[in-house]
Structure 1
């Protein structure tokens, strides 16, 4: 079964808020200390107001025993889905592959 392209991918903050942090039994303040980020930064991430940066992805991955790329890909899918709906690309042409054609830089 394929994924519904009209459904927004999950923000990594939602996964942390709904599953990750509750599973630890620790408070958000404790998690922010363990991650080395401010409570406000963690709050904004969990509220889906901030993205998971590569630096924070490395911290989350270490804390939860996952791979940084998991969190980065999750954020990338979320960002790309939103960008594809918000960015006007109507004036951009699609390049076609033409045999023998050359491009200049």
Structure 2
């Protein structure tokens, strides 16, 4: 899978996560093992894709093919990882959630434009 399709796939996951955030209620018990397993099952492929995406983007950045700083790439991965958890556990205010969501979209869109 090339970088462009990885990025588009992550954008789609990001939109799905936002829907989950807006439509779900936080779990009644934060230590619910069944809920944790369900979240882990649903998010594991996204974590893997995110790791592969970060490696690929850092390689492209190193070759100076895109105008991104390595720290932006790493921050985007970290922000997306935060959103993965916030989307299910709903433990952050909407304003903060949307700031993270928008900053990730910004980097994804910039990357897609430059590719």
Same fold (TM over 0.5): no
What's the TM-score, normalizing by structure 2? 0.29
Highest RCO, 1 vs 2 (Cα 8 Å, sep ≥ 6): 2
Structure 1 or 2: more helix by fraction: 2
